[in-house]
Amino acid sequence: MSQIPRPLSLQSQYFGRWCPLSVRKQSVLPSSRYARRLHTSTVTDDDIARLASLPLHPLTLADLVKHGRPPLSTQQLLSSANFTLSILPARLAHRIRSLRNLPFIVVSNPNISQIHQNYLHSLSTLLPWAEKDIKTLEDEVKFAEVMTDLVQTHSNTISILARGFLESRKYISPKDVTRFLDEHLRARIGTRLIAEQHLALHMSSQPHYDISEEDSSEAPSDFIGVIDTKLRPAKIVQHCEAIVSEICELRYGVRPHVVINGVPDYTFAHIPVHLEYIITELLKNSFRATVENGMEREPIEVTIAPFTQENGSRFESQATVNNSDQGNLDVVSKTFTGHSPPESTLNVDSEHIRPLARSTPGVTIRIRDRGGGIAPENYAHIWDYSFTTFNEDEASSTLGGVSPGIEALNTISGGGGDGVHSLAGLGYGLPLGRAYAEYFGGSIKVQNLYGWGTDVYLRLRGVGKLD
């Protein structure tokens, strides 16, 4: 049996094939062994209250690329470190407060309590830095160790929360859990991304490798940290197709084929691992529906439609990234303390697809299949975190990495650092995919034609002008 290809991990992407060879050879890569040597400060309730009272501002792709193209100079690298330090403590404090707002019996669950402790630990490693600027390369290296510890500490947050809420389902409604997770996991995307971006810039920065020994034959990288400035969506689709096809054939004995049309050579600036996760989830659903509907001879059609300034007049309004999209408001968690949020924050319209700002390049990707569509009774729940669809034994096996009785295509769920099996069959794929899409002002729309098939429209906005 051939080995099933899997998406590259975040660490291998950022510190492997996406970094110049010379950087990989000579960079000072923070290691997990540093976690034992990190200086920490005791986190008090006053610290949490003070930091959580600070307003959070939406994160944009432009924020992540503003420090310049690698290799960064010493000053640029220090600027990135101080930017990272300026926004992470408050974001961690907001997550701690959000968890503490849950009903006491829920947050007392060992798994949810573990996540709470993880956030406390990460904040304790940042507090010693919070009152000073990072002014030397020695301090920057130590700060990179803190960022490495943060990323590793929170690598399994989603699967641990899934288990915790499954075990607490007698004490909190599925609707409340979906609302809480949607807000909490969106905020988590930003926290990890900020830390990972600085780590990637650290690895490709001028002060940490000898330019004189750089392999001149190596082509310059198109990456600014974790952002590919020349990301080709068609290439991501082909990569995800290979993964999904292999698993589909193992499960069903057949594999539908994908036809890519539109403008397959189009490129724009975005985060490959986010797009990879979204496309994998969408193709997984299309492949399974196509095969189970007996239409495996019909191609799954993927259309790449660019959005540029030249055709921006098609859209009259402009979309902006807001705090609600990024889970920064802690609105949902406050409902558990007796504060009712505005109705608009409780109902997300799955039919909505936003226009992109006319000054921002981007792309619309349509995935069309003949899989028979989504049954009306299921359509209203496609954005739910459907952790209640399995009994406790099945879900525990799934979260432990074993998925008996669950379709093989479900085993490629995951994303954001969790293992490929960790969310299998729990229905986290689509809502997480939408969170990734909407985080930077994009959107997903599902056009369902029951009895025939499904069209999914994924729209992503990139970075505007890049120097």
pLDDT for 423 equals: 39
> Averaged over 173-185, what is the pLDDT?
90
Tell which wins on pLDDT, 213 or 25: 213
Fill in the amino acid letter for 181: L
Average pLDDT over residues 247-267: 94
pLDDT of amino acid 390:
40
| pLDDT score recorded for residue 18 | 38
Q: Is the pLDDT of residue 35 over 70?
A: no
Q: Which residues, other chains included, contact 219 with Cβ-Cβ below 8 Å and sequence gap of 6+? A: none
Stretch among 115-119, 315-319, 385-389 having the lowest mean pLDDT: 315-319
Which pLDDT value is given to residue 208? Answer: 67
CATH number at 19-213? 1.20.140.20
Please report the pLDDT score of residue 342 as a whole number. 46
Sorted by where each begins, the domain ranges of the chain are 19-213, 226-319+354-461
Q: Give the mean pLDDT of 308-324.
A: 55
pLDDT of residue 322: 81
Indicate whether 397 pLDDT > 60.
no
pLDDT band for position 63 (cuts 50, 70, 90): very high
**Mean pLDDT, all residues of the chain:** 80
d(Cα 123, Cα 94) in Å, to the nearest integer? 11
Identity of the residue numbered 11? Q
- pLDDT tens-digit map of 275-305: 999 999 999 999 999 999 999 999 999 999 9
Q: How confident is the model at residue 396 (pLDDT cuts 50, 70, 90)?
A: low
pLDDT band at 215 (very low <50, low <70, confident <90, very high): low
pLDDT of residue 6: 38
pLDDT at 393: 56
Long-range contacts of 234-240 (CB under 8 A, 24+ apart): 234/260, 234/264, 234/265, 234/266, 234/302, 234/304, 236/272, 236/275, 236/276, 236/279, 237/279, 237/283, 237/302, 237/304, 237/365, 239/7, 239/276, 240/7, 240/276, 240/279, 240/280, 240/283
The 10s digit of each residue's pLDDT in 321-354 is 788 888 888 787 778 877 655 444 444 444 455 5
Neighbours of 276 (CB within 10 A): 20
Dihedrals phi, psi of 420, to nearest 5 degrees: -65, -25
Per-residue pLDDT averaged across 97-109, rounded? 95
Give the domain 226-319+354-461 fold: Heat Shock Protein 90 (3.30.565)
Q: What is the pTM of this model?
A: 0.82
Token pair recorded at residue 214: 């750089």
Q: For residue 464, give the DSSP letter.
A: S
> What number is the average pLDDT over the span 451-466?
88
